[in-house]
Amino acid sequence: MLTLLILFPLAAAALALLLPWHRGRSWLLAVSGGLHLLLTGILVSASGVWPGPWIGIDPLSRVVLPVTSLLFFGCSVYAVGYLGLRRDRGNRVIVACLLVFLSAMTLAIAARHLGLLWMAVETTTIASAPLIYYNRNRLSIEATWKYLLLCSVGIALAMLGILFIAYAALVGGGAPVSLQFDTLLAAAAGLSPPWLHAGFVFLLVGFGTKMGLAPLHSWKPDAYGEAPGMVGALLAGGLTSVAFLAILRAVQLMTAAGDGAMARQALLGMGLLSLLLAAVFMVRQPDIKRLLAYSSVEHMGILAIGVGIGGLATFGAMLHLVNNALTKGCLFLSAGNIQRAYDSKRLSEVHGAIATLPVSGSLFLAGFLAITGSPPFGLFISEFTILRGIFASGQGWIGLLMLLLLGMVFIGMGATVLTATQGEPVTLDTAFKDNLLLVASPLVFLLLVLLLGVYLPEPLQTALQEAANLLEVQP
């Protein structure tokens, strides 16, 4: 079943390359997204944990997999409308790359072998590079080159980290030299501490580059700014969650080896730095998509802080991961619509979006309220849970600092978003109009985030709690 989930998008990608029919390829993407979501639903609702030697589902993947799948399905429905607008660009390559990207993300989420995990994450980098280059202009080349080179080098360092962990098993002597994750967890106490620590640091740096934690985030504003809106949504909501999952695997290993405290300190430091840098760069940001990219850096920082604090905050971070992915989906897709309509993403041209594009403009404004943690949206609950966790752990100054920075983000982001959405309607040069395909997905994402803010379903709560326990309790 799980194997099917990973392999069928690849088959669909091959089909997309062969199919000589523009609209057919777009729909193939949406149908594959729907099938993936359906299979994921069946797979995740089956109770019990079944880790295999290579791939398997554990509580952490049970949280990340449905979110990624749902986000992809939403983006694939949007893509049918979007690719229809851009017939001149052709969609053969982008559809195939999106499907390979889906397959690689699924493999990374399900991987139970560190080598396999690495391979899948590197494949996501390669498959998403052509997606960022979709617009084929000077700016998108620059963004693609930075993304490709920085992430490849980052991921190469993660490989070194993985090798260090294998070497820790070799030097420690007590453990079999294997990179199978369950074997490693079981033998974690026998790993040689210096090599394990070095391995963790390299994994954090490597996958942290991919996740976009400061100070390794420099590719992010460029890539998110130049990529089409739906690609931005998939990168900011899906890929970052997958990279975070990879870091959590390393945290799991460190916790099992009894060095969880060190791992948490490192995450906490990087998280605070991300929040700080993002807040600084969001003030007076004149570009709405770069603004969203810094918002992504900010939320990766919040996730890292949540896990760094531990306890209740870890649960908050798991919930935050779900909320962040869905809200980023809403924001990037509606920002994509605004960009298409105004043929610009800079504040000098974009204003009066609500009057001009009632649905997309309102969605963008509502998405802004959601992402900055205003009640009654889900992010209010998750950020509040993380803050409660911080104050309960007795590190009040971190909580105060975080509150201060969140306030700064709200003001900085608000200034840009309000300028873009409020004001008199503008006569547009483009023929763009909101239509059902282009607004349905962001609307559904936003409603889900709203729902999560009012009511947290029992099964989801259990799943999040189990995932958080995996990072807390020593097995």
Which ranges constitute the DSSP H helices of 173-287?
181-186, 193-211, 220-226, 229-233, 240-256, 260-282
The 10 Å Cβ neighbour count of residue 396 is 11
DSSP 371: H
Query: Does position 153 bind other proteins by CB under 8 A?
Result: yes
- Looking at the Cβ atoms of 202 and 244, the one nearer to other proteins is 202
Q: Tokens 């554990």 identify what position?
A: 58
Q: Which stretch, 58-66, 152-160, 258-266, 337-345, contacts other proteins (CB under 8 A)?
A: 152-160
277-316 positions binding other proteins, by CB under 8 A: 281
The 10 Å Cβ neighbour count of residue 115 is 16
Counting residues that bind other proteins (by CB under 8 A) gives 46
Among 129, 231, 278, 387, binds other proteins (CB under 8 A): 129
Among 6, 95, 159, 276, binds other proteins (CB under 8 A): 159
331-370 positions binding other proteins, by CB under 8 A: none
Largest Cα span, the chain: 72
CB 275 within 8 A of CB 402: yes
CB 100 within 8 A of CB 127: yes
For every residue of 56-91, DSSP letters joined together read EE-HHHHHHHHHHHHHHHHHHHHHHHHHHHTGGG-S
Q: Which stretch, 42-50, 109-117, 298-306, 328-336, contacts other proteins (CB under 8 A)?
A: 109-117
Among 144, 323, 360, 382, binds other proteins (CB under 8 A): 144
CB 414 within 8 A of CB 291: no
Among 102, 143, 187, 234, binds other proteins (CB under 8 A): 143
Distance CA 170, CA 445 (A): 47
Q: Which stretch, 147-155, 232-240, 331-339, 423-431, contacts other proteins (CB under 8 A)?
A: 147-155
Q: Which stretch, 57-65, 73-81, 145-153, 260-268, contacts other proteins (CB under 8 A)?
A: 145-153
Length of the chain: 475
CB 227 within 8 A of CB 134: yes
Among 10, 19, 85, 119, binds other proteins (CB under 8 A): 119
Distance CA 466, CA 322 (A): 15
- Looking at the Cβ atoms of 188 and 359, the one nearer to other proteins is 188
DSSP 422: S
Query: Does position 249 bind other proteins by CB under 8 A?
Result: no
* Nearest distance in Å: CB 281, other proteins: 6
* Nearest distance in Å: CB 7, other proteins: 14
- Looking at the Cβ atoms of 125 and 385, the one nearer to other proteins is 125
431-470 positions binding other proteins, by CB under 8 A: none
Among 141, 185, 262, 426, binds other proteins (CB under 8 A): 141
- Looking at the Cβ atoms of 42 and 189, the one nearer to other proteins is 189
Closest CA to 221 of 134, 152, 286: 286
Query: Does position 116 bind other proteins by CB under 8 A?
Result: yes
Which ranges constitute the DSSP H helices of 87-192?
92-110, 114-132, 138-172, 181-186
Q: Is the dihedral of CA 216, 219, 225, 231 positive or negative?
A: negative
182-241 positions binding other proteins, by CB under 8 A: 192, 194-195, 221-222, 225-226
- Is there a cis peptide before residue 66, judged by omega within 30 degrees of 0? no
- Looking at the Cβ atoms of 179 and 381, the one nearer to other proteins is 179
Distance CA 371, CA 323 (A): 9
32-91 positions binding other proteins, by CB under 8 A: none
Q: Is the dihedral of CA 268, 271, 276, 279 positive or negative?
A: negative
Q: Which stretch, 142-150, 316-324, 408-416, 435-443, contacts other proteins (CB under 8 A)?
A: 142-150
Contact positions vs other proteins (CB under 8 A): 113, 115-116, 118-119, 122-123, 125-126, 129-130, 133, 136-139, 141-146, 148-149, 152-153, 156, 159-160, 163, 166-167, 169-171, 177-179, 192, 194-195, 221-222, 225-226, 281
